Structure 1
């Protein structure tokens, strides 16, 4: 009986020399394969550098503010032309060595300082929301896919119900009541912290259903695999099967979805700040900076262009990073 040859991925093996003569074929681990594919993808490495730089900047922003290197809330009215609508006196939005991104019309604050802090706050809110969404989606998707029966039915209907709520409308409609409730429950007085927490919670709570469906579909096939059957026959409890047997086989879609979800949350946070929901000025986020800049789009186009380019670059980099990670993690992708 003839058999068809099995196609072997050249990246999955490596040839080594032993004793200077014989050559042996050594298998590569999934991590080594992932790293080899990723290192060959130059565009993904470039956007990975941009994302890492943004994350480092986000972490260092509070320290830089405390040390006085940046100050997003301190303005200098002497840099503005009051007679012409409080726009910067210097051309190109007041760009100079002291203010590389120019100064903000109306306040004279350093735009670069505000953008740095805005990137930090927007990333923190988006990361928190993404962790909530991916965490809920992963756990509920695993439980629904493995349990079947009434548990699967109840969780599937919960997913359908959550998807029916308009996320943006819910954020705007519940903002006043929910923010005051969070202040009372958590005993917080910092308005920026409470508003940021509210946006992260709502984005995360309404962002998990789509991912839960993906995970459920993956688990429906994994639950019939031999290693799950073996664990079940040995008396493993559902909790062990969820997190010791199934979850390690789901890291690829979890990682890819997280990197693809993050830019959508950054865009959502910016849009909500533009609509007045979220962190309020003078504390800057990318959204409220862009909202302020719209008022000066004609008089000072530089002030509008720079925040828009920062948002576009960050979102595009995260999207391309997600695509690159998906290709590197997929052994069937075209490399």
Structure 2
């Protein structure tokens, strides 16, 4: 698999781009410290002359210069470069947590339904059908405030960590079913194979068969589908922030930056450029990486 993957130049380049995004998110505080700025200080207010009377950068192209590499945020005067770094960090943290939880849930329920069959298969399959029937975007928006009230009084300001936990819980609860159905189908086909029958005849327990025989054989579809799930969770979390029910001020986030850009693009189109291009690059690179991983795991791939 590794040899086939290395021969795929597009896959290798996409993997490097994805790794770069994760490194930028991981080392965002260090990069910001070396850069000498942070995403929370309103430089337009503490330093007169950076913004005009309407709140827009005085310098052309959104205030881009040698001091502010990506310019200033309209209205607040925050540094766009550090906002983007920390926004990448926030979005990837949420998406990675949801992907791990959704994958583990899909493995447990999907493989159990496919291998055990009978009542287990019936109830888990009906649960998957029920959850997949939900209009997800509407339920994301509706459930987020409800989940948040489980942690804090709705009359109080919601802390950022509560918002993050709420987003993770909602996306996880409604995001594992596709992979679960794929793994169920894989387990259904594997349980009739000769090596599984041999394990049964030898007296192996169901848990041992699942752990030793089935799980190693579902790594391929699990890994491939996970590479498609993570960028989807990134864009979904950004959409929730854009709609005002996800991450809000002053926490840097891709979706919140899009929300601000949608309000100021008539007068400062530059501000939309950086979060927009970075998200497009990330999603495209991750999808191409998923295609490369799928081809690498396919034993029929020639080349």
State the distance in 2 between where 1:325 and 1:75 align: 43
Could you tell which deviates more after superposition, 65-74 or 205-214?
65-74
Match of 1:40 in 2: 7
Q: Does 1:87 align with 2:56?
A: yes
1:67-106 map, 5 Å: 69-77=36-44, 78-83=48-53, 85-106=54-75
Q: Does 1:255 align with 2:216?
A: no
Q: 2:132 aligns with which of 145, 163, 166?
A: 163
Q: Does 1:318 align with 2:286?
A: yes
Deviation digits for residues 37-71 of structure 1 (CA, Å, limit 9, x no counterpart): 11111111111111101111111124445778441
Q: Does 1:290 align with 2:258?
A: yes
State the distance in 1 between where 2:49 and 2:290 align: 42
Describe the shift of the 1:271–1:204 C-alpha distance in structure 2 as closer, same or farther (beyond 3 A).
same
State the distance in 2 between where 1:69 and 1:239 align: 54
Larger proportion of strand: 1
Deviation digits for residues 269-307 of structure 1 (CA, Å, limit 9, x no counterpart): 111100011111111110001111111101111101111
**SS at the partner of 1:221?**
helix
TM-score, structure 1 as length reference: 0.85
- Contact 2:11 2:292 (8 Å CA) reproduced: yes
Describe the shift of the 1:40–1:152 C-alpha distance in structure 2 as closer, same or farther (beyond 3 A).
same
State the distance in 1 between where 2:121 and 2:39 align: 49
Answer with 1 or 2: which has the greater Rg. Answer: 1
Describe the shift of the 1:123–1:41 C-alpha distance in structure 2 as closer, same or farther (beyond 3 A).
same
Cα distance, 1:80 vs. partner? 3.3
**SS at the partner of 2:244?**
coil
State the distance in 1 between where 2:268 and 2:36 align: 25
1:1-335 map, 5 Å: 34-64=1-31, 69-77=36-44, 78-83=48-53, 85-183=54-152, 191-335=159-303
TM-score, structure 2 as length reference: 0.93
Unaligned runs of 5+ in 1: 1-33
State the distance in 1 between where 2:16 and 2:67 align: 26
State the distance in 1 between where 2:191 and 2:109 align: 15
Q: Which of 1 and 2 has higher RCO (CA within 8 Å, sep 6+)? A: 2
Describe the shift of the 1:79–1:295 C-alpha distance in structure 2 as closer, same or farther (beyond 3 A).
farther
- Contact 2:72 2:80 (8 Å CA) reproduced: yes
**SS at the partner of 1:182?**
coil
Cα distance, 1:124 vs. partner? 0.5
State the distance in 1 between where 2:184 and 2:174 align: 17
Cα distance, 1:227 vs. partner? 1.8
Taking only aligned residues, the RMSD between alpha carbons, in angstroms, comes to: 1.7
- Contact 1:132 1:201 (8 Å CA) reproduced: no
